[in-house]
Structure 1
Amino acid sequence: MTRLLFITERFAPDLGGLARSATRLVGTLSQLGMEIDVVTWSRYLQPGEVLPPETKEANIRVYRIGLYRHWDMTMPHTLNVLEWLHSVHSYDAVWGHYLFPSGFLATWFAGLVGLASTVSARGNDIDREMFPPGDFARLQWTLQHAKVITAVSADMSRKIQLLSGRDDVLVLKNAVDTEIFAPQNNPTPQAKREGITREFLGITPDEMVLGFCGELREKKGQQFLLNALTTVRQVHPACLLIIGEVRASQESVLQLYKAHQPENAQRIIVTGHLPQPEIVAEYLRLCDVYLQPSLWEGMPNALLETMACGCCCIASDAGGIPEVITHSKNGFLLPRSHLHKLGEAVLEFLAMTTEEKTQVSQAARDRILIEHSLAQEKLQLQTLMARLIPNSV
């Protein structure tokens, strides 16, 4: 059996798309017959503490390591743990999920012990690390020395080619469980049990539900979402449903909005962290329109999941988003230079006929079924592993 060491900064039940994609990929790799040890860090442990492995399935073990305050302590300690694990389990390859810190550490460790390495660029790891205070030299070294590189979008693949000079980057698209994330005409029994209905949440019948899913922060266009709510409510009753959390460092922005727009702020509903994808899907199905005004992106999981649920989306043209949304066909794109007009775009959507909205929502789900299914991802992973470890799958 092929043994893979998988290093990721976040893993379920951690928040965010990075954790979701890591957890999903590990599950799919295990279905391909691989034994996988996941190494991830935690701020909830004592610095340097290593928990006994969590056994997720027969061939998946998860090791959590307590973070030190700085990476110059965390990384050498993690290397010691990796050396110990390799001496016990004798891995065939190392996977770094996200370019830094996981990708760099995976590539460095693999080089030290003579293993093949792969790194996956997922989101803003290119855009963030190539500019100060990011470490451009470490980023470039990682891209040049990993055996196989995957990118979540063609846009990111082009950037990696420019940075590294490599023309062999594989595009590994994010995938969605289209059975969980699917349209529903009426609230399911689970939604009623969990109180995930418009009535339970205090949403009036005439209110338009503007949706966002994930950890709300500056890069996701937090201010543009708030401004859009203000604009729409001047014309039509509306609420903003945040399916997830507001990052702690960004709470001040929300508090300022509450001070200046108290009535509008009362129509912001924040669910908090939702670890179960089935529950996330129930909330997504409440949205009349989903908003993704990101300033920079890879290929956001939440957007794909929303489209799979048959919800109309208005998104920025950041990163790989234009690779999944064709404007006016299966969603709507707003240039990043025009995100201040997000509210106007919502009102234009509101003016569309029911038939037009239905056509867009059906086309959105069709795009996910064709290009972002779990079956498609499994085929892509087989291609990746065949290149990383010949004869492994």
Structure 2
Amino acid sequence: MASGPRVLLLAERFPPDIGGLARSGARTAGSLVRLGARVDVVAWTRAASPGALETVEDAGEVSPFAKGVTLHRLGLFGQADLSMQHTLDVLGYLHARRRYDLVWGHYLYPPGFLAVVFAKSAGLASVLSARGNDVDQLMFPPGDFARLLWTLERADVLTAASADLGRKMAVLLGRDPGVEVIPNAVDTALFSPGPGDAALRERLGIAADEVVLGFSGELRHKKGLPFLLAALTEVRRVRPACLLVIGEVRARDAEHLLSYRAEHPEAAARIVVSGALESPALIAEHLRLCDVYLQPSLWEGMPNALLEAMACARPVIASDAGGIPEAVDSGKNGFLVPKALLNHLGQACLDVLGMPASEREALGRAARERVVARFQADAEAAVLERVLARAMPRSSA
């Protein structure tokens, strides 16, 4: 379907960046290609010189999700305003050569705002995708409410990672804009149940008698970093345990670990950080080591990492932030802790770890069944196809 629409997707993060936002961007771009679109992605990076534009002709080289996507990585300047102005110049340069039909902003700011600005200036259709806490960040100080509202009002089609995000956008607009909920999709063949790899456990230095509390992604405050540390402390008062961070700790949040290490040196020594894992298969291997997976987020869209852990049939404990309750039925396929009561996360861990093995296994099976039923690629593709038809009705007819 080489005659499909040309789509320009702007992403704040894209592989090889880690985290759910990067993976969902790659997955969206790759899914659009499989629907017949010709997709270019522009993503910012600090790995390139400021203002430098680097092109990867097939982004399948950096992510298996993005096969067939052309990736343009743009070096950031030290100042956000310079980066944004330069980005608009680059978008104009690319459009003159590629002739796009649709501009897609993946995350509300800055990519969503710039996508709508560029689309309006070039006379193109635009799609805006809310992914996580981007609505909340711009709603409240020091966020820019006026910019948020301007962007929402002028996008041709609004999409969201969860129904919760869609409701928030409808509240802000004072009307129902017909937000399309694009469910995150998990490769359930890759993220699947199985025994933990003993050799991997040994390489990570996890003792045979330790229970593994797991977290996946970029650990930072919004993901509940303080509550994870407090839970580790509480669990270790009762039984040997470690916290396995499958990913990295955001640099500016590392101070929390330093202060924790000063107060709880023995517990801090049992925080195992894998570092960035480029392969989804490696992430799945690490998830299978977890006795319980934790997602104590303060703000959320629909976390990929949680769904991947559920697909691996891990017992999960999560907050009720954002769209998480759309995936987790508390007591049936996992447990929810209210955001206001995340100080009880440690006790929730002990309660789950104290369950008979058969009950924990049943919990994990139910978690996987939910992902298989609602968060597969075919469900995502159906919504994306509808979004394309709404954004460009003439070309989709």
Same fold (TM over 0.5): yes
Aligned twin of 1:392: 396
CA-to-aligned-CA distance 1:110-153 (integer Å, 9 cap, x gap) = 11111110010000100111111111111100000000000111
CA contact under 8 A between 1:92 and 1:115: conserved in structure 2?
yes
CA-to-aligned-CA distance 1:255-278 (integer Å, 9 cap, x gap) = 111111111111111101111111
Letter in 2 for 1:155: D
1:116 correspondence with 2:125: yes
CA-to-aligned-CA distance 1:318-351 (integer Å, 9 cap, x gap) = 1111111000100000011111111111111112
From the superposition, tell whether residues 53 and 199 of structure 1 become closer, same or farther in structure 2 (CA, over 3 Å). closer
When the two structures are superposed, what TM-score results if normalisation uses the length of structure 2? 0.94
1:315 correspondence with 2:318: yes
1:211 correspondence with 2:209: no
Q: Spell out the pairing of 1:65-214 with structure 2 (5 A cutoff).
A: 65-167=74-176, 168-185=178-195, 187=197, 195-196=199-200, 198-214=201-217
- Cα distance in 1, alignment partners of residues 384 and 272 from structure 2: 38
- Cα distance in 1, alignment partners of residues 10 and 396 from structure 2: 19
From the superposition, tell whether residues 59 and 216 of structure 1 become closer, same or farther in structure 2 (CA, over 3 Å). closer
User: Helix, strand or coil for the counterpart of 1:223?
Assistant: helix
Letter in 2 for 1:170: E
- Cα distance in 1, alignment partners of residues 75 and 174 from structure 2: 36
How far is 1:203 from its partner? 2.0
Aligned twin of 2:63: none
- Cα distance in 1, alignment partners of residues 210 and 238 from structure 2: 11
How far is 1:62 from its partner? 0.8
Aligned twin of 2:283: 280
CA contact under 8 A between 1:93 and 1:110: conserved in structure 2?
yes
When the two structures are superposed, what TM-score results if normalisation uses the length of structure 1? 0.95
- Cα distance in 1, alignment partners of residues 74 and 205 from structure 2: 42
CA contact under 8 A between 1:8 and 1:38: conserved in structure 2?
yes
- Cα distance in 2, alignment partners of residues 53 and 180 from structure 1: 26
Q: Which one of the candidate residues 15, 30, 49 is aligned to 1:12?
A: 15
- Cα distance in 2, alignment partners of residues 125 and 84 from structure 1: 28
Q: Give the paired residue count.
A: 386
CA contact under 8 A between 2:7 and 2:102: conserved in structure 1?
yes
CA contact under 8 A between 1:5 and 1:95: conserved in structure 2?
yes
- Cα distance in 1, alignment partners of residues 55 and 183 from structure 2: 32
Which consecutive unaligned segments of at least 5 residues does structure 2 have? 61-66
How far is 1:185 from its partner? 2.9
User: Helix, strand or coil for the counterpart of 1:199?
Assistant: helix
- Cα distance in 2, alignment partners of residues 80 and 46 from structure 1: 17
Q: Which one of the candidate residues 224, 234, 247 is aligned to 2:250?
A: 247
How far is 1:59 from its partner? 4.4
How far is 1:186 from its partner? 5.4
Q: Percent identity over the alignment?
A: 54
- Cα distance in 2, alignment partners of residues 103 and 138 from structure 1: 11
User: Helix, strand or coil for the counterpart of 2:262?
Assistant: helix
CA-to-aligned-CA distance 1:4-41 (integer Å, 9 cap, x gap) = 01111111101211110001111111111111111111
Aligned twin of 1:37: 40
- Cα distance in 2, alignment partners of residues 224 and 137 from structure 1: 33
Letter in 1 for 2:57: E
1:22 correspondence with 2:25: yes
Aligned twin of 2:64: none
CA contact under 8 A between 2:215 and 2:246: conserved in structure 1?
yes
Aligned twin of 2:339: 336
CA contact under 8 A between 2:10 and 2:106: conserved in structure 1?
yes
From the superposition, tell whether residues 172 and 219 of structure 1 become closer, same or farther in structure 2 (CA, over 3 Å). same
Q: Which one of the candidate residues 347, 353, 357 is aligned to 2:356?
A: 353
